[in-house]
Every structure is written in structure tokens, then in C-alpha cells.
Amino acid sequence: MELPPELVDIIIAQFWYSELPSNDRITFMTACPLVNITWRDVYARVTSRDIHVPTVAYLLYLPFLVSWKPWSTSAVYGDFSPDSVRTITCYVDLTSSKNDAAKDPYSALCNLPNYLGFRRCFPNLEQINLGIKFRAVWYWNGSFSRQLFQTRLSINLRQATSELSLLPVEWSIAVHCPPKTYEDPPIIAHILEGITTDMVQLRHTLPISAVIKESTYHHGARHFQNEFCITEKRGDVRFINYYLGAAASRPWHWVRSVLYDGNFYDPT
């Protein structure tokens, strides 16, 4: 029995927008378009608007997807174009395994000095979202505490220009079932400073004290959130901007002038 398109839409959207380990997402991405035409078409519509990046290989595949124009010839993406893309998300789940494949693209996206290549390839891209879930263990007051953390970053590209820009970034950290250590501001500040140090392009101190005062508690978790801005700089990581810019048919002088910083061919 074939499910109605409306139900297929609900199933695919529910799964696609869930926080999943990379292996589960890759399995879904591989199998879903093969179910039947209805599943394939709904999958294409949802995933061409909101891209998830589960591996570095898939991240580097995106520019080839654009440059070779399979959007118009692919059995999956035939009716869609790069203009459809609104968000790109990379989510890492380290709660059950420390080998989630999304760690690599997450690191690359965090360390990119600019996101011009993405804006060139996907002109209607609005946000790049980065998330990671992990458990941290520390010793406190004679006992061990193993807490679940979730961090989220949203890099806003809506007002970005075609050149290097100042990008607003929203970030949040949720600590599930926090112990009483979180009633001690110095300890909270130490923990938050350690986590935010790894956030995207973060090279300055965030106003942690204000974040602590404005934190909220709901659904069994303490939530901390704030905003900052990043100033894009020339450069690249793993040739990501280079390939995306080239795929968008931009002339070499643009690639060189915007990306070259003396260490352009950085293989990290």
C-alpha cells in the first residue's frame, strides 16, 4: 500500500529536521529516494531547501553538484536548482560515539575565515547552522558528574554582501539536568568559557557574566544564549570556498582577490 504524499511529507520532514547521528542520516539519505517516486520527489523538495552535511566528502561534493548541473539532469534533483537552498546544517552527535563523521565538516565550517563560496553557489542561502551534542565528565564536591551539553550556532547570511562582510552569529548552550555547581557563577563561567572557545571564528572573550545572569531553566535544562559578530577575512580551509566559487562560474580574479591571503592552499 502506498502512503499518501501528505503523510510522506510529514515522515520525511520529521526525520530530516531531527538531530541524528551521521550514520543514521547517511542511511536515510541513501535509502529514501529509492522507495518510490513519491518519496523521491518529497525528499528532493525538502533536502534541496535545507541541506545537511554529514561528511567532509559530501561537503566537497556540493560544488561539483552545482558545476556539473545534475540539478537539471538528476533523477532526484531534476526540478530544483541551487537557488532553492535556504539553510546548510552540520550536526554532530558525540553522545554514543566519538567518531561521528560530521566532526570533520563541523570543524571545517567553524574554521572557515569566510563563507563567500557558499553565498556564490547558493545565492538565497540564509543561514549556516552548526550544532554538537556531547557529554562532559568532571569531579566536583567528592563525586563525578556526567552532563549532557548541546551547543548551537546560527550564522546569519541574510544581510551579507557579495564581498567580505560582518556576519551576526547567534549561539546557545543547553546543559541538561545541571548539578548544583551551576549555582556558583565562577564555575559556570569557567565551563562556558571552555565551550565557547571552540565556537566559530571565536578569537575574543564573550560577555559570559551577562549570559549567566540572563540564563533560563526549562524542560530540565539550563539555557545560555547570546550573540556576537564575526568579520570575514580572506582565506580558505580544505579548498571549500575555492571549489564553491569555481562551481559558481566566478572568474579566477575574484577567487584570487577574495580568498588569497598568502596561505590559500591550506590543506587542513
Q: What are the domain boundaries of the chain? A: 5-259
Q: Out of 86-90, 152-156, 204-208, 263-267, which region has the weakest mean confidence (pLDDT)?
A: 263-267
Pairing of strands 87-93, 50-52: parallel
Q: What does the alpha-carbon distance between residue 11 and residue 36 come to, in Å, rounded to a whole number?
A: 14
- Of the ranges 5-9, 73-77, 206-210, the best mean pLDDT one: 5-9
* Residue 115 scores a pLDDT above 70: yes
Select the more confidently predicted residue: 192 or 226.
Answer: 226
Please name the helix (run of DSSP H) or strand (run of DSSP E) that holds residue 185, with its range, or none.
helix 185-196
Summarize the confidence of residues 41-48 as an average pLDDT: 87
Grid coordinates representing 216 are 533560563
**What pLDDT was estimated at residue 192?**
75
Q: What does the alpha-carbon distance between residue 116 and residue 108 come to, in Å, rounded to a whole number?
A: 14
Q: Out of 105-114, 152-161, 202-211, which region has the weakest mean confidence (pLDDT)?
A: 202-211
Summarize the confidence of residues 146-172 as an average pLDDT: 89
Q: What angle do CA 108, 109, 112 make, to 5 degrees?
A: 80
Predicted TM-score (pTM) of the model is 0.82
**What pLDDT was estimated at residue 5?**
85
pLDDT band per the 50, 70, 90 thresholds, residue 263: very low
